[in-house]
Amino acid sequence: MLEKPSDDAPATLPVAEHPTEPPHWAWRRRVSRLLFLALAYFLSARLGLEMSYTFDSISLFWPPTGIAIGALLRWGLGYWPGLYLGAMAATGFHGLGTAALIAIGNTLGPVLAAALLRTLPLDPGFHNRRDVFGFLLMVPLAMTIPPTGGLLAILPATEIASPLFLTAWITWWLGDTVGALLFAPLILGFDRAVLRRALREQGRELFILLLATVAGGGVVFFNPLATGDHAVTLLLLLFPMLVWAGLRFPLWIVVLTAALLAALAALAALQQAGPFRMLGHRPGYELVWLFTTTTTAIALLVAALQGERHQFEQELHAYNRFYRSATLITTRLAQAPLEQLDQAIRDMLVLLGDYSGADRVYVFDNDWQRHEWNDRYEWCAPGITAQINQLQNVPFDTFPGLIDRFQRGEMYLLRNLDDMPPEHALARPLLAEQGIQSLVMYPLLAGGVLLGFSGYDAVRAPRLWSEQELALLKLAADTLAEALQRQQQHRALQLTQHDLREANARLTRALAELECLADTDKLTGLWNRRKFDALLHSEVERCHRYHQPLALILFDLDHFKHINDKHGHIIGDQVLTSVAQTVTRHLRASDTLARWGGEEFVILTPLRLNAAVALAEKMRQLIADQPIPPVGAISASLGVAELNRSESGEDLLRRADAALYRAKATGRNRVAAAGD
């Protein structure tokens, strides 16, 4: 069972039965309908016979045919026995045998008309000209059966000359045709909901229309002053009523207006009133037939044109809605910053859910390594249970063949869960568990790569998506694919940038370690000679530029070769390390200590010569006062030199080295200062 169409959507022929009702209720309804159809046929036939044209049994106005066609189309062709019984009763005055034969023709004609109209398929609202023209073509064609069968049935009992036979056949055919044209749409177009809405929303206007129709028909058909040829022209005054009804009301009201005018015309013809006074019965009946046929055809065409206009407005509205939605969706995703793309996609799902009327909208991505789908984004209508937490790590094999279908760029449309193909039966429990009755899914392809798919579920009732809706959903899928590709590229770029930053950090640390190893003495951890040379050069330039003092203390350990020879190099290294630690602890932050080489050390300090000599004496004393096991007490000789104006670092070193040599030469364990 498909979703109930909206009031603006073209309807379909009503369903004949109610399969959910108990059998005895269906039987009672069927019997009551058969009896009602037979009675309605009989009574309307008696009314038609009041306007007999030939043989007192052939009328130019035969309502039973239209009633029969309308009933068969609404209830089903299986109700033809009621039609046959009514036809038998209406023509029983011909005798039982003849009436049975006539009833066969009168039954076959409406049955054939109903069967032909069901092949269109016919819209009972006659919302387009195709339905009207098909109705106007098939009904007269089917109505050739009743006069043919009826006249052949009564021919043995009645001597009819050939010209009179043709006249009788045409009269019969015309009467059946006009009755079908008028009453079949009246029965088909009846809809209680539409009528209630018209009464609720347009009740006052409807009352004025019907009052104007009756009043206008009375003035035209029962006006005692309307005589002569000009009386016929007054009929033109009634056509605006039909146009008014067609432009403002549904088909049933339009045909009802035409039926009222036809009834007034028939009554006036029977009473020889108004324009029929001077015509006589037969010409008057011919005028009634012509008027009824014309008004009915005009009513149907006006209703069809109004329906097409309304359908065009609906399509235009749908197109505008499609255009606005498509523009909004594509613009928002295109303009969304990458860091806000997740929220933009969620907002897009809300728009898509509102546009498509779906109960659930979602986006899945692929995990190609694990061959799984994951529900990444989801929107649900109010009252619909979210499934995003349950739909994680869904294997591809859960829906056989779907991944291949998506990779070919094909959508998947399931109009009803009960119509699911056997090859997808494995997915049925998963869909049923989510309450899905209809769904449509689109692949998200970007650059030939399948990124995932978007889907739309109908949960409350099966859903039919229009072509425009499907077109927008396809456009949305393409837009989503581009956005997801952009997002993946951005994330890949972010990951690459993160990896590059990590690599740069590791490289920086490695370079720093290498630089430290290149500038640091491995044994003592002090700056080495290479680093000290660079520092000395820069400090000399700075002191010359800003006229600041700078002194250099060069010292080595006395008799260090003897320590190595006696105690070994390991003890010798411990002595060097201990001396370096001792001196470092007692230097200021502005002083720099470096290992010059072997047992020689150098201190660079921003002091004048006297202060530098005092510092050197302090360092000598610290070294002498701290014995180092197993060596015991050790001593150091120190040479001090202050930077002179325009002196280079090499010259400063050379003078400090000369002072150190002098300290050693004069007995060691002392400080010597370099002269100018």
- The answer to whether the CB of 668 falls within 8 A of the CB of 558 is yes
Catalytic-residue membership of 541: no
- Rounded-to-integer distance, Cα 111 and Cα 103, Å: 12
Q: How far is CA 258 from CA 250, 277, 282, in A?
A: 13, 22, 22
- The DSSP-derived string for 473-508 is HHHHHHHHHHHHHHHHHHHHHHHHHHHHHHHHHHHH
Buried/exposed 617-643: b ≥16 CB within 10 Å, e otherwise: eebbeebeeeebeebeebebbbbbbbb
Considering only CA atoms, which of 5, 126, 82 is closest in space to residue 466? 5
Considering only CA atoms, which of 484, 486, 479, 431 is closest in space to residue 459? 431
Neighbours of 142 (CB within 10 A): 24
- The answer to whether the CB of 656 falls within 8 A of the CB of 641 is yes
Active-site residue identified among 378, 469, 482, 599: 599
Q: How many CA atoms lie within 13 A of 309 on its CB side?
A: 9
Task: Provide CB contacts within 8 A for 453, sequence distance 6+.
Answer: 363, 364, 373, 406, 441, 442, 443, 444, 477
- The answer to whether the CB of 220 falls within 8 A of the CB of 274 is yes
Tell me if the bond preceding 121 is cis, omega within 30° of 0.
yes
Q: How are beta strands 360-367 and 372-380 bridged, if at all? A: antiparallel
Annotated catalytic residues are 599
